[in-house]
Amino acid sequence: MVGGSSERCHEHGDLLDYLFRNVLGQFSGTSVFKHIAWPGLIVARHMLLRKLPCQVLLAISSLYRDLDAGRQDPTSETIAFMLGGIQLLKEQLQTPDTIDGDSILTMTGLWMYEAVLRFEIVDWVSTRPTTTNTESSLQSIQAHLDGLRRSIAHIGGLKYLPPEAMWSVAWCVASLPGYWTLDAKMTEDQSISRARLTPGSQCSLTRLVDFLTRIERLASSTDFQPNILQETSFSLMRRSLLRLVQMPTNQRTVLKRMMRSTSMLSIMLFTFDVLLGGSKAHIQPLRERQREMMRLQDRLDQHNIDQEGSPQLAWQILMTEKETPHVQLHPRAWPIVEMVNEVKHLSVATIDSMSKLLIEWMFPRDAGHVADFRYERLLLQIHYELDGVAGVL
């Protein structure tokens, strides 16, 4: 199977070149893959060696090329690729025991193809507007979602998926229309959303996933180093953060553990917001980020956070303009507070896992986190706890 797929891919070198230079570049936010260890690139290379998902991946590349050329409808070549992939998938699904990671990758590929055909891909990094999703177009993608859920359930759940399939499912859930409850609010059909969130929750969940995706893309870069915190002048900040993360909980109640966990996560998100330079529309230059980080470090130093003090105290110091808790929140704190209010609905284990992943990204020792897809597993867990991911787990 692998050999035949490889030969078939080589027959379409133009589509492969377009796939890597244009399609994946748009998804990952870069066109220079030698400088980025984006998991999507790993998955794409894996799919190209598999007969079934390779067919759909070529169809997606061909469809993108059609749209870039200004065509209103897919060309016959694109349709042939897609029909070939669907036929291969139907043959495999006739024998349920043959459903595997390749089947899941193919189904997520079909979802992606449908999204490219009918929707504009949601770009969490930029502020590019998306097209309005009509009720009919949302329903047209539902068959792919239903098939995906049934297949994942047949395999035994998400924990039994190969890592490449796990990443693909997580990326689609976070980035494509059709699944998101946010899509349902654009229609009048209440049946589309069985787990409708409140408007405030929708906004917070969107912001949380957006922010985590920005961090993940930054941290996936092979040359990523949070340079500010690597400098000698910020040794106290590093020591303080590492001490807070490694502190034993020493709490008696679940509620207090949750307070400790959310405080720790808030500190991590707040620090990353400084490292990222703020929002896309108001990115601070590196020098200003350094100055702000130094001001924060000075305040932590004044309270001996590197030697004593709880995550709750560090949170109080960082998130307020001054040391006293009754003063106005730091301007950066408002979006963090909104995200954390949503995060409070997560289990303690999920919150702790998120904090651990963030601290590993903040002080990277190796690139292992890219290969084992911990971020994607965590992202699906967040969706499961906040938005249901009905029937998948």
Express each pLDDT in 344-358 by its tens digit. Answer: 878 888 888 888 889
Confidence tier at 233 by pLDDT (50, 70, 90): very high
**Residue 71: what pLDDT?**
85
Is the pLDDT at 126 greater than 50, yes or no? no
The answer to whether residue 195 scores a pLDDT higher than 60 is: no
171 plus 264 within the same structural domain:
no
How much is the average pLDDT of 302-319?
87
What is the pLDDT, as a whole number, of residue 155?
Answer: 85
Q: Which of 198 and 53 is assigned the larger pLDDT?
A: 53
233 in the same domain as 148: no
Higher pLDDT: 88 or 225? It is: 88
Residue 138 structural domain: 10-176
- Reported as a single tens digit per residue, the pLDDT across 97-125 is 888 889 999 988 888 888 777 654 444 33
What is the mean predicted confidence (pLDDT) over 212-223? 74
Q: 82 in a domain, yes or no?
A: yes
Percentage of the chain modeled with pLDDT above 70: 67
298, part of any domain: yes
For the chain, the domain total comes to 2
Please check whether residue 283 lies inside any domain of the structure. yes
- Confidence band for 273, pLDDT divided at 50, 70 and 90: confident
Final residue before a domain boundary, out of 176, 196, 224? 176
Q: What is the mean pLDDT of the chain?
A: 73
Same structural domain for residues 213 and 274?
yes
Question: Based on the domain organization, do 223 and 110 belong to the same domain?
Answer: no
Tell me, yes or no, whether 135 and 272 share the same domain. Answer: no
266 Cβ partners below 8 Å, 6+ apart? 315, 319, 336, 337, 340
4 domain-assigned: no
**Domain match, 89 and 136 both:** yes
Considering the domain architecture, whether residues 52 and 106 belong to the same structural domain is answered as: yes
228 and 84 both lie in a single domain: no
Summarize the confidence of residues 69-76 as an average pLDDT: 87
Mean pLDDT of 16-42: 64
Please indicate, yes or no, if residue 89 is contained in any of the structural domains: yes
Q: What is the pLDDT of residue 236?
A: 92
pLDDT of residue 132: 45
Tell whether 199 is covered by a domain: no
Q: Are residues 161 and 264 in the same domain?
A: no
Q: Give the residue from 45, 22, 25, 43 showing the smallest Cα distance to 33.
A: 25
Residue 385 and residue 252 in one domain: yes
- Given a cut of 50, is residue 251 above it in pLDDT? yes
User: Do residues 282 and 383 both lie within one domain?
Assistant: yes
* 236 and 172 part of one domain: no
Residue 199, pLDDT > 80, answer no
